[in-house]
Amino acid sequence: MPDDLGLLLYLPHRELENRVFAALAEAGFDDVTPAQARVFHRIARDGSRLTELAEAARITKQTAGFLVDQLERAGYVERGPDPTDARARLIRVAERGRRAIPVCLAAIAEVQREWTAHLGRPRMVALLDALARLREITDPDL
Amino acid sequence: MPDDLGLLLYLPHRELENRVFAALAEAGFDDVTPAQARVFHRIARDGSRLTELAEAARITKQTAGFLVDQLERAGYVERGPDPTDARARLIRVAERGRRAIPVCLAAIAEVQREWTAHLGRPRMVALLDALARLREITDPDL
DNA sequence: TAGGGTGATCAACTTCTCTGACCGATGTCA
DNA sequence: TGACATCGGTCAGAGAAGTTGATCACCCTA
């Protein structure tokens, strides 16, 4: 199966993920997992509800709650009341979470530099453009 | 985080995977999981050793063995002796596995048609080209 | 022929995810 | 205003996917 679209999408994602988590671990954030990161990533600036995170990440509320518990215990996020609905609670990025973000961004930028060097700038730009347009039809959160 | 490379790669892969497994389930292949498929996918035409599959999929030999056990029990693969080395065993695609492949290919082709319709042919070609070139530096199996 | 490396497996454990049941708060409508 | 469905979230139990560590059989080479 030479040019399998599934594998072609999977491989660079795995590579990027490995690099980001290696960078995180090296910077002392060695207690976060990919599953936790996928939830963390979807937290809105002004906080998100558990149900929103679950929908965006396409996991059940229970799984999202389980992962947020871990993130909360490790200090990456914090839960507070939702002033507009007493049933809900707002999940926000906490101090340790805020400090981890630039480490991720730097690792992604580094990988992106390497890939640009390999592909050449025009092909890299075309790749990002195509992926961004694809997001319009593949992201339930959008 | 508007244009996060990680998310941009993750979303279309998840979408494609969901579509392929939905098609498989509809065709009666409802007993195969993504993890099993990732191993199955790497089986060479003339058979592969467990260790080869584990390396290509970047999982431990134990995990690969666990997944191959399941695939074997469900009739997707079969294990035979390796004539060149009595320690090793060759894993080959079996009857049920062979019948599942065209279902996957059809599902992938369908998704690719949709994406081409959304992006336009030139952008789709550029996407595939960039991903194929990226494979050169992200696939340990190559 | 002894020793180190390789292919595979066994055992125990962690992490992630699910389904199903449940509880309290909310909103609606007779 | 009270009954009831809905919504946000949690608890309990299970299965799937992955890990490390140990072990065993076989291969190759000095």
- Give the CA dihedral A38, B105, B21, B122, nearest 10 degrees: 40
- Interface contacts A/B by beta carbons within 8 Å: 129
Candidates B72, B77, B111, B114; CA nearest to A8 is B111
Calculate the dihedral angle through the C-alpha atoms of A122, A126, A127, A132, rounding to the nearest 10 degrees.
Answer: 140
Nearest 5°: phi and psi at B78? -140, 150
Region of residue A105 (left: phi > 0; alpha: psi -120 to 50; beta: else)? alpha
DSSP A125: H
Q: Which residues of B touch A119 (CB under 8 A)?
A: 130, 133-134
| pTM for the structure as a whole | 0.87
Q: Which of A133, A135, A136, A140 is nearest to A52 (CA)?
A: A140
HSE-up of residue A141 (Cα within 13 Å, Cβ side): 21
What is the distance between the alpha carbons of residues B81 and B69, in angstroms, rounded to a whole number? 15
Give the pLDDT confidence of A12-45 residue by residue, as tens digits: 999 999 999 999 999 999 999 999 999 999 999 9
Task: Round and report the angstrom distance from CA (A132) to C1' (D12).
Answer: 41
pLDDT of residue A1: 46
In whole angstroms, C13 C1' to B32 CA is: 25
What does the block give as tokens for B103? 């279902």
- Residue B77's nearest CA partner among B35, B54, B47, B106 is B47
Taking a C-beta distance cutoff of 8 angstroms, is the pair B41, B26 a contact?
no
Q: Do B124 and A130 touch (CB under 8 A)?
A: yes
Q: In 3-state terms, what secondary structure has residue B139?
A: coil
pLDDT at A107: 94
In whole angstroms, D25 C1' to B114 CA is 52
**How many helices (H) does chain A have, and how many strands (E)?**
6, 3
DSSP secondary structure, A76-107, as one string: SEEEEE-TT-TT-EEEEE-HHHHHHHHHHHHH
Residue B1 pLDDT: 46
Rounded-to-integer distance, Cα A109 and Cα A76, Å? 22
For A70-119, write each residue's pLDDT tens digit: 999 999 999 999 999 999 999 999 999 999 999 999 999 999 999 999 99
Choose between B66 and A137: higher pLDDT.
B66
Query: Of B128, B122, B10, B132, nearest to A14 (Cα)?
Result: B10
DSSP secondary structure code for residue A20 in this structure: H
pLDDT per residue as tens digits for the range A47-74: 999 999 999 999 999 999 999 999 999 9
Q: Tell if the CB–CB gap between A13 and B10 is shorter than 8 Å.
A: yes
Determine whether A137 is exposed, middle or buried from the number of CB atoms within 10 Å of its CB (0-12, 13-18, 19+). middle
Residue-level pLDDT at A138: 84
